[in-house]
Structure 1
């Protein structure tokens, strides 16, 4: 009985000392899009809502979505609320925003749309 208990204790100790497996950083697959010559937009605002587009299958969301921000501080010509488009998957340089949180947004204008990505904003903390 004592041998069984000792063996169980040794197994538990060996498992506790095992190193944690390495985690793959999906941002390593991100290839930053060229923003040369694009008009940069900077503002501070709160994420209040989102716009998701339904995929062609009618069940899943498109990989690109928009987050709606209530602007606290920014350029006078930028109307509040502002819709900022972005991908959500890290391997596509995507970002996620939490509702109610304040963000310092760095984006570029693409026609009438504003778009951001991990390369402009930096890795989420």
Structure 2
């Protein structure tokens, strides 16, 4: 009987109108100084390249968006250009919409691959 009274008291103490507890999701932190040696591309999103995660069921958070680059501050980039990026917020990810025109700031990695993130896009 005493256990039931304690349980009823505990349940009544819960506020049914209290907002749910919101977990804080870690977000990326961008450097305070702009990154040097970046390239600016202007073009339209025409495709995407996604890869499977090791489980074979889900996709990786890292993907490539394919742009039809119309202009660039580096003449070696034009036409179909693959830009790699993360999609999750805590890794400074970014997403792009098909058919939309973007001005994308990228860095060169591994000698020939292009990569961007939210920090580069904001600079």
TM-score by length of 2: 0.71
Q: For residues 37 and 95 of structure 1, do their structure 2 counterparts lie closer, same or farther at Cα, with a shift above 3 Å needed?
A: closer
The number of equivalent residue pairs is 102
1:73-102: CA deviation from partner (whole Å, max 9, x where unpaired) = 113211421000000011110000000000
Determine the structure 2 residue equivalent to 1:122. Answer: 122
Extract unaligned runs of 5+ from structure 2.
1-18
Determine the structure 2 residue equivalent to 1:112. Answer: 112
Deviation at residue 39 of structure 1 after TM alignment = 3.3
Determine the structure 2 residue equivalent to 1:17. Answer: none
Deviation at residue 64 of structure 1 after TM alignment = 0.3
Determine the structure 1 residue equivalent to 2:53. Answer: 55
CA contact (8 A) 2:87 2:94 kept: yes
CA contact (8 A) 2:70 2:78 kept: no
Extract unaligned runs of 5+ from structure 1.
1-19
Higher helix share: 1
Residue 58 of structure 1: SS of its match in structure 2?
Answer: coil
Q: For residues 57 and 72 of structure 1, do their structure 2 counterparts lie closer, same or farther at Cα, with a shift above 3 Å needed?
A: same
TM-score by length of 1: 0.70
Residue 119 of structure 2: SS of its match in structure 1?
Answer: helix
